[in-house]
C-alpha cells in the first residue's frame, strides 16, 4: 500500500487499445500492486479502500464489481472488524471521538488513528496497544543455535572479513533476537535473510553485467558461514531499538571489530523501471546497468532482515562520514550474483548506533533532517 500512493481515482476502467503511449502518458500510468508491472493498456481496477491499482488478472478476490476491495484490505478489515468503515478514519480507536489531525497519533502496524493522549507514548511504542497485545507471545528462539553462534574475533591484522563475536549472555542474546522480530512485526514485514525473487527471475541478477569485485576465497567462506547463522535471525551483538527521532535503529551491545560482517541487505528484488515511483524509504541499489529496465533494486517492505533498520549518516553535516559512519555497504559479485554486504568500516564501541552512508549507492536520499 505504501508503495502505491500514486494511483488513479477509484474507477473500473477498460482502457481502449489506442496508439502507443507517449512518454508523458506513460508517466501518468500506474503500477499493478500485485505483479508490480506497469498498467498501460490492460483492464484494471482500483481497490475502493487503499486505491491501489490491479490488473484484472491480478485481482484477488477475482470479482469484477464496483466498490471492489483488495484481499489485503479485506484481511485488515477482518483483523480489526470494529474499524472497517472508511468513514471512521478520523475516529480515535480508544475513545471513539473525532481526532483533529494536529492531535493524531497513528499506529505503524494497523494505521489506526488515536488522540495523542489515548495512544500513550509513541516514543516508547511504534504500535498501538491492540497490535502490541496481538503479537505472538513466543517468537521462535532456537537454543540449539548456541553451537553455531560460537564466533570469536580472530587475532589477525589481515584485511579479510571476520565473523562477529558471540553474545555470551543468554538473556541479552535472546533480547537481540526478539528486538528484530518485534520491529519486523510492527512493520508487517516477514523475516527473510535472502534476496527474494517473486517479481523477477533470479537470472536477471547477473553480477557480470557490472564490474563488481568478486567475493572469493576466505571472504566467501566467511560470508557463507555467517549466512548459515543469520538465516535464523541471529546477527551478532546487535539490538534493534526505537525512538521518535529515527524510528527503529540498530545499536551494538558489545564491541565490534573493523571488518566484521554485519549483514547482507535482504528483501524483495525488483526491476528499477517498475519502482521509479516507489515511496519506500529503504530502496537499495542491487545492479546498476545504466538502464532502468535491467537495473535492479532491493525493497525490504514485504520481506526483510536487520539491514532495513540501520540508520543513515547525515550527509549535510561536516565530518559525518568520518565520525558518524561505522558501517559500509558494498556490492559484490557473489558466485555470479550481485549482493549487498554491510560490514564494520572501523572498530565499533559497545552502545554505538550503526550508521552507513545511504548515498553510497545509486540513490540520493535527502538526509538533511537526519540526526
Contacts with 180 (C-beta within 8 Å, 6 or more apart), sequence order? 191, 233, 235, 240, 305, 306, 309
**Minimum CB distance to ligand SAM smaller for 315 or for 333:** 315
Q: Which residues pair with 214 in a beta bridge?
A: 333
First to last CA, the chain: 28
Taking CB atoms, the residue at the shortest distance from ligand SAM is 247
Count the neighbouring beta carbons within 10 Å of the beta carbon of residue 89.
11
Candidates 82, 98, 213, 245; binder of ligand SAM (CB under 6 A) is 245
**Minimum CB distance to ligand SAM smaller for 139 or for 353:** 353
CA distance 254 to 165: 8
* Per CB under 6 A, 145 contacts ligand SAM: no
**Minimum CB distance to ligand SAM smaller for 164 or for 300:** 300
Torsion angle (degrees, nearest 10) of CA 79, 300, 136, 117? -70
With residues binned 3-state (H G I as helix, E B as strand, rest as coil), the percentages for the chain, rounded to 5, are 25, 20, 50
* Per CB under 6 A, 109 contacts ligand SAM: no
Residue 181 CB, nearest distance to ligand SAM (Å)? 14
Residues 210/337, Cβ–Cβ less than 8 Å: no
Judged by CB under 6 A, the stretch of 113-121, 149-157, 204-212, 241-249 that binds ligand SAM is 241-249
Residue 103 CB, nearest distance to ligand SAM (Å)? 22
* Per CB under 6 A, 106 contacts ligand SAM: no
Mask of contacts with ligand SAM, 280-319, x by CB under 6 A?
-xx-------------------------xx-xx-x-----
* Per CB under 6 A, 114 contacts ligand SAM: no
**Minimum CB distance to ligand SAM smaller for 185 or for 309:** 309
Q: Work out whether the CA dihedral 246, 250, 253, 255 comes out positive or negative.
A: negative
**Binding to ligand SAM (CB under 6 A): which residues in 39-98?**
none
* Per CB under 6 A, 279 contacts ligand SAM: no
Judged by CB under 6 A, the stretch of 19-27, 94-102, 246-254, 342-350 that binds ligand SAM is 246-254
**Minimum CB distance to ligand SAM smaller for 44 or for 370:** 370
Among 220, 255, 229, CA closest to 350: 255
Query: Residue 353 carries which DSSP code?
Result: B
* Per CB under 6 A, 182 contacts ligand SAM: no
Residue with cell 499493478: 32
Candidates 120, 247, 255, 362; binder of ligand SAM (CB under 6 A) is 247
Cell numbers for 197, please give them.
Answer: 525473487
Q: Which residues pair with 341 in a beta bridge?
A: 264, 330
Phi, psi of 173 (to 5 degrees): -60, -40
Q: Contact positions toward ligand SAM, by CB under 6 A?
A: 245-249, 281-282, 308-309, 311-312, 314, 370-371
Amino acid at each position: 500500500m505504501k508503495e502505491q500512493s500514486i494511483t488513479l481515482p477509484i474507477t473500473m476502467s477498460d482502457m481502449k487499445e489506442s496508439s502507443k503511449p507517449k512518454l508523458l502518458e506513460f508517466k501518468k500510468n500506474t503500477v499493478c500492486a500485485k505483479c508490480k508491472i506497469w498498467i498501460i493498456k490492460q483492464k484494471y481496477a482500483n481497490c475502493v479502500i487503499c486505491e491501489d491499482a490491479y490488473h484484472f488478472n491480478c485481482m484477488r478476490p477475482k470479482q469484477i464489481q464496483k466498490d471492489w476491495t483488495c484481499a489485503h484490505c479485506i484481511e485488515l478489515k477482518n483483523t480489526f472488524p470494529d474499524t472497517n468503515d472508511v468513514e471512521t478514519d478520523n475516529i480515535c480507536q480508544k475513545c471513539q471521538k473525532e481526532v483533529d489531525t494536529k492531535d493524531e497519533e497513528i499506529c505503524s502496524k494497523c494505521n489506526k488513528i488515536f488522540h495523542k493522549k489515548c495512544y500513550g507514548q509513541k516514543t516508547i511504542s511504534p504500535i498501538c496497544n491492540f497490535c502490541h497485545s496481538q503479537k505472538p507471545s513466543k517468537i521462535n528462539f532456537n537454543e540449539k543455535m548456541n553451537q553455531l553462534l560460537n564466533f570469536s574475533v580472530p587475532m589477525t591484522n589481515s584485511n579479510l572479513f571476520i565473523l562477529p563475536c558471540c553474545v555470551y549472555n543468554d538473556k541479552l542474546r535472546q533480547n537481540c533476537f526478539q528486538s528484530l522480530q518485534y520491529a519486523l512485526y510492527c512493520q508487517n514485514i516477514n523475516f527473510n535473510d535472502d534476496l527474494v525473487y517473486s517479481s523477477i527471475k533470479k537470472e536477471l541478477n547477473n553480477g557480470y553485467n557490472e564490474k563488481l569485485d568478486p567475493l572469493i576465497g576466505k571472504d566467501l567462506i566467511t560470508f557463507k558461514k555467517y549466512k548459515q547463522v543469520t538465516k535464523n535471525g541471529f546477527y551478532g551483538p546487535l539490538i534493534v531499538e526505537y525512538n521518535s527521532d529515527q524510528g527503529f535503529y540498530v545499536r551494538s551491545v558489545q564491541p565490534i571489530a573493523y571488518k566484521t560482517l554485519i549483514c547482507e541487505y535482504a528483501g524483495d528484488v525488483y526491476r528499477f523501471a517498475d519502482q521509479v515511483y516507489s515511496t519506500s524509504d529503504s530502496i537499495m541499489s542491487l545492479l546498476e546497468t545504466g538502464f532502468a529496465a535491467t537495473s535492479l533494486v532491493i525493497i525490504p517492505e514485504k520481506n526483510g532482515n536487520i539491514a532495513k533498520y540501520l540508520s543513515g549518516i547525515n550527509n549535510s553535516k561536516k565530518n559525518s562520514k568520518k565520525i558518524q559512519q561505522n558501517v559500509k555497504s558494498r556490492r559484490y559479485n557473489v558466485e555470479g550474483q550481485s549482493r549487498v554486504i554491510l560490514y564494520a568500516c572501523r572498530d565499533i564501541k559497545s552502545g554505538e548506533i550503526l550508521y552507513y552512508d545511504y548515498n553510497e549507492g545509486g540513490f540520493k536520499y535527502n538526509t538533511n533532517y537526519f540526526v
